[in-house]
Amino acid sequence: MEVFTRDYSSNAFSRSSNGEAEEIADKISTFNLIINSGSGKLVRQNGEELVTVADLSLRAQDVDVNQLLDGSELIFMDNLTINGSGIKWSLEKKLYQFTVGDFHFEKKAEYLSLDNVALTPVVQKYRFSEILDRQIDRIDLNIPALELIGFTLDSLASNQLEIDSMQITGAQMEVFRDKQKERLPGYNTKPLLHELATSTDFSFGLNTINISDTDITYQEHKPPSEEPGSISFNDINATVTNLRTESHPEFYNDSLRLNINARFMNTSPLTLDVGYATFDNLNSHTVHVQLDSFDPKDAANMLNNVAFVEIEDGFVESLSANMELNSSASSGEVTLLYKDLKVSFLNKDNPQKKGLKQWAGDFIANTFVLKSDNLGDKPRVGIFTFPRDKEKSIFAYWWKSLLEGIKQVIK
């Protein structure tokens, strides 16, 4: 199916008398439009296929002929239902392909469902950064089921989009970063949420995002390690509320809220709560973290290959943190309860050679004395302040702030 613009001015009935034209117009002024088992594609001027749809069915009841002739009004027709499968969108310059399996849209019910949504890199992990010639996150994402409820399509006509809720189920995401490549040259500030929310005139509002049964794995290859380290967050169940851009009428009314329950490294229960005043140009927000009992050796892969630390023995009873952050710096306190902790620090020049390990006792002069226990009625609490590195992402900002608090506990 090809859709292209055309002048549908009054010459449509030029061969008929005025009376005949009016009679015909009355008969077809409204009708039902049905397309079964069609297909479609969006093609660039040079003939390159940008987006293709393998199977497409459309049904619209009581269609006004003037809406049909004006292609811009097609998607705003009342009683519109669209079904299909096999959406494929090539993002060649970004080295990704975006695909959707089955999809279903009901305009009157304000409902959209997408199955097997995927953002897939078109080249393997190390080749990705090699082609782009810089250090960058490579994301491999699959979402078996995604639903939009309260999807008011008509709002697009007035440069806004309003969605009541989004449901993401069973997502799998793997992020890989090759730190053997250099970062993008120059000073590149990473935007925080206020900058993102105020970067567009488009009014967007999403009241609630519900995420369930989701796994996220982060891998990082940091020189001189011979292999990447990885951490995972499993069985994620999360809720995000009040996601809005500055042009939205309720942007200044409520803070964004994020609540996450997961299992860290597929073992220990983890809770993360974030309150973020996206309307505040200082990016004021709070982060609360709670991690239950945890064997640090479960994170050995990441600790050895990225932090150059090896856990010889010990057990973490719990970790809790309360942090306040803004555009410039973070502050807060961290409580880390642990016992019998024994750590060795690997030689950063060649961490694979065990003969070059620097044991904690040899490491004291350069860093800090490691206390092996922190239990009892009055455990040590890490009070910290930490300046933001504006070239790092918000997640790195949270992690580095937490790590600063942990250092204050164990040193």
In order, the DSSP letters of 207-258 are EEEEEEEEEEEEEEE-TT-SS-EEEEEEEEEEEEEEEE-TTSTTTTT--EEE
The answer for residues whose C-beta is within 8 angstroms of residue 351's C-beta and 6 or more apart is 224, 225, 304, 305, 308
Q: Give the pLDDT confidence score for residue 260 in this predicted structure.
A: 99
Buried b or exposed e, range 157-195, using 16+ CB within 10 angstroms: eeebbbbeebebeebebbbbbbeebeeeeeeeeeebbbe
**Percent of all residues in the chain with a pLDDT value above 70, rounded to a whole number:** 84
Contact 232, 302 (CB under 8 A): no
Q: Give the pLDDT confidence score for residue 5 in this predicted structure.
A: 35
Count other C-beta atoms under 10 Å from residue 18's C-beta. 8
Residue 242: what residue type? N
pLDDT 10s digits, 10-57 = 444 444 455 665 565 555 667 788 899 999 998 888 888 889 999 999
Higher pLDDT, 25 or 77: 77
The answer for residues whose C-beta is within 8 angstroms of residue 32's C-beta and 6 or more apart is 59, 60, 61, 62, 63
Higher pLDDT, 376 or 114: 114
Alpha carbons 57 and 34: distance in angstroms, whole number:
8
Model confidence at 321, pLDDT cuts 50, 70, 90, reads very high
Alpha carbons 203 and 58: distance in angstroms, whole number:
28
Region of poorest pLDDT, from 227-231, 336-340, 406-410? 406-410
Q: Is the pLDDT of residue 164 over 80?
A: yes
φ/ψ of residue 202, rounded to 5? -75, 135
Helix, strand or coil, per DSSP, at residue 404: helix
Q: Is the pLDDT of residue 252 over 80?
A: yes
Beta strands in 245-308 (DSSP E): 256-264, 268-276, 285-291
**Percent of all residues in the chain with a pLDDT value above 90, rounded to a whole number:** 67
- Taking residues 153-160, what's their average pLDDT? 84
Q: Is the pLDDT of residue 362 over 50?
A: no
pLDDT 10s digits, 81-138 = 999 999 999 998 899 999 999 999 999 999 999 999 999 999 999 999 999 999 999 9
Contact 229, 306 (CB under 8 A): yes
Higher pLDDT, 22 or 278: 278
- Whole-model pTM: value is 0.85
- Taking residues 71-87, what's their average pLDDT? 79
